[in-house]
Amino acid sequence: MLANKTALVTGSTSGIGLGIAKALARQGANIVLNGFGDVEGPKAEIAALGAQVAYHGADMSKPNEIEAMMAYAATEFGRVDILVNNAGIQHVARIEAFPVARWDAIVAINLSSAFHATRLALPAMQAANWGRIINVASVHGLVGSSEKSAYVAAKHGVVGLTKVTALENATSGVTCNAICPGWVLTPLVQKQVDAKAAALGISNDDAKNLLLGEKEPSMQFTTPEELGELAVFFCSPAGANVRGVAWNMDGGWAAQ
Ligand code: NAD
C-alpha cells in the first residue's frame, strides 16, 4: 500500500517508534529512522522486511539538527510523505521538585520537535497534495496524572498542534492525527515499573499489575504492533478524511 512512499519516524530506535516504523515498512514504505542507542539492530529489522532504510541521529531537542535530518531524508528518498512525530522522554516528580532542565528537555523533545519537523515536512507534502502527519501523543494528551506536569503539558500541546495542523491542511490530501496510547511496556515505562518495584519492595510483575490497575481497565499493555497498525490505517485510503483526531489506544483509561 505504501510502495514509493517515505516515512520518517522520530525516536524509532526503540519501543513505539520502532513498532510503527516496522508496520509502515511492511506496507512497502522507505523508512528513515532516528533516535539514540543501538542503530544497527533496528536498521536490520527494517531491512529484513524488504524496505529501504536510512538513519539520521538528530537530537530532537535541537532545531538545527531537525533541519539537517529533514534535508537528509529529502536527499536520500526525494521527500518525506509520512512524518511520525514520536520521540519522547519522561520525568516523574511533583511540580515544586521538578528539575527545570527536565521541564525544558521534555517540552523541547515531546512538543517543540513535532512543530519543527511538521513545519519542515509540510511544503513538500502540500506540493504533492498527499501527506500523513501522525503525532504520537498519549492518553496524557487528554487527561492528567500527578507528578507528570511537563509530560502532560507537552502531550496536551501535541494534541492541540495536531488539530491546527489538520485544520490548516483540511482541503488538501495532507492529514494530521494523533495517537494516544495508554501504558505500553517499552523502556520508557519499564523505568516506572522498576521505580515502583523498588519503592514498594515488590516484584516486577506485581509492579506492572499495580501500574495497570491504577489506570487501565483492560489490565493489558497496548503493544507497539497495535499502534503500528493504527498508523497504517491513518495512511490508508480509508483514512483520507480522518483529520485532527486524538485516537486512544488505552484499554479504557480515558473512558472512566
Ligand atoms: P522509548 O524510550 O522506548 O523510545 C523513545 C525513543 O525516542 C528512542 O528511540 C530514543 O532514542 C528516542 N529519543 C529520546 N530522546 C531523543 C532525542 N533527544 N532525540 C532523538 N530521539 C530521542 O519510549 P516509547 O515508550 O517508545 O515512547 C515513544 C513515544 O510514545 C513517546 O513520545 C512517548 O511519550 C509516547 N508514549 C509512550 C507510552 C508508553 O506507555 N510507553 C504511552 C503513551 C505515549
pLDDT tens digits, one per residue of 79-89: 999 999 999 99
Which H/E stretch holds residue 158?
A: helix 149-168
- Contact, 91 vs 99, CB < 8 A? yes
Q: Is the pLDDT of residue 188 over 90?
A: no
Mean pLDDT computed over 164-176 = 98
Q: What is the pLDDT of residues 217-232, one digit of tens each?
A: 999 999 999 999 999 9
Q: What is the pLDDT of residues 66-118, one digit of tens each?
A: 999 999 999 999 999 999 999 999 999 999 999 999 999 999 999 999 999 99
Question: Which of the four pLDDT bands, split at 50, 70 and 90, describes residue 121?
Answer: very high
| Span from the CA of 105 to the centroid of ligand 1 (angstroms) | 13
Q: Is the pLDDT of residue 138 over 90?
A: yes
Q: Is the pLDDT of residue 143 over 90?
A: yes
Question: Which of the four pLDDT bands, split at 50, 70 and 90, describes residue 132?
Answer: very high
Q: Give the mean pLDDT of the chain.
A: 97
Spot the catalytic one: 72, 103, 151, 253: 151
Closest CA to 85 of 110, 106, 55: 110
Question: Which of the four pLDDT bands, split at 50, 70 and 90, describes residue 45?
Answer: very high
The reply to whether ligand 1 has any atom less than 6 angstroms from the CB of 188 is yes
Mean pLDDT computed over 162-190 = 97
Complete edge-to-edge strand list for the sheet that includes strand 82-85:
53-56, 30-34, 6-9, 82-85, 131-136, 174-181, 246-249
The reply to whether ligand 1 has any atom less than 6 angstroms from the CB of 36 is yes
User: What's the rounded Cα separation, in Å, for the pair 110 and 250?
Assistant: 19
The reply to whether ligand 1 has any atom less than 6 angstroms from the CB of 228 is no
pTM: 0.98
The angle formed by the CA atoms of residues 146, 184 and 50, to the nearest 5 degrees, is 145
Report the share of the chain in percent with pLDDT over 70: 100
- Contact, 139 vs 221, CB < 8 A? no
DSSP 3-state assignment of 124? helix
Concatenated DSSP letters of 139-152: GGGTS--TTBHHHH
Pocket test for ligand 1, best of 64, 69, 86 (most atoms within 8 A of CB): 86
Q: State residue 154's pLDDT score.
A: 99
Which H/E stretch holds residue 32?
A: strand 30-34
Q: State residue 47's pLDDT score.
A: 98
The reply to whether ligand 1 has any atom less than 6 angstroms from the CB of 181 is yes
- Tell me, yes or no, if 151 is annotated catalytic: yes
Q: State residue 37's pLDDT score.
A: 97
